[in-house]
Amino acid sequence: MKKTGTLNAQLARVLAELGHGDAIVIADCGLPIPAGVERIDLALTQGIPSFTDTLTVVLSEMQVEHALMAKEIRAANPPLAGQIDALAEGGIPVRLVSHADFKTLTRQARAVIRTGEASPYANVILYSGVVF
């Protein structure tokens, strides 16, 4: 049995398989997941697990080069936008695109991690960096 880190086997596998430039999405429970993109469904009920808890775990294990979020989050969900903006303060550049473009870009993701988050635009695309 694994002692530390991500205990979800599917999530641990996807994180270990990422290469430079690969994308994963951390999503609220309402974001449509494109056909053909792996779904890692962590959602238990509304709010569990939260977007923030899931993001914290993923960031503890993934080298992130940059992130992307829908610009609509600024008006619709300022507290969560602030949490994602904190990534930039931690050295991860965060870019903004329209929600329509965001949904299109999810088609290129290696996986979408579905959380129980039930707040507007609680989604981010993380692009893998390298540790060397």
Q: Has 66 been annotated as catalytic?
A: no
DSSP bridge pairs for 112: 25, 39
Would you state the structure tokens that stand for residue 102, as one six-digit string? 């965001």
Q: Which of 99, 87, 126, 94 is nearest to 110 (CA)?
A: 126
Segment (H or E) for 76: helix 73-76
CA atoms within 13 A on the CB side of 117: 21
Instruction: Pick the catalytic residue from 9, 16, 20, 60.
Output: 20
- Measured CA to CA, the distance from residue 83 to residue 24 in angstroms comes to 18
DSSP bridge pairs for 75: none
Active site residues: 20
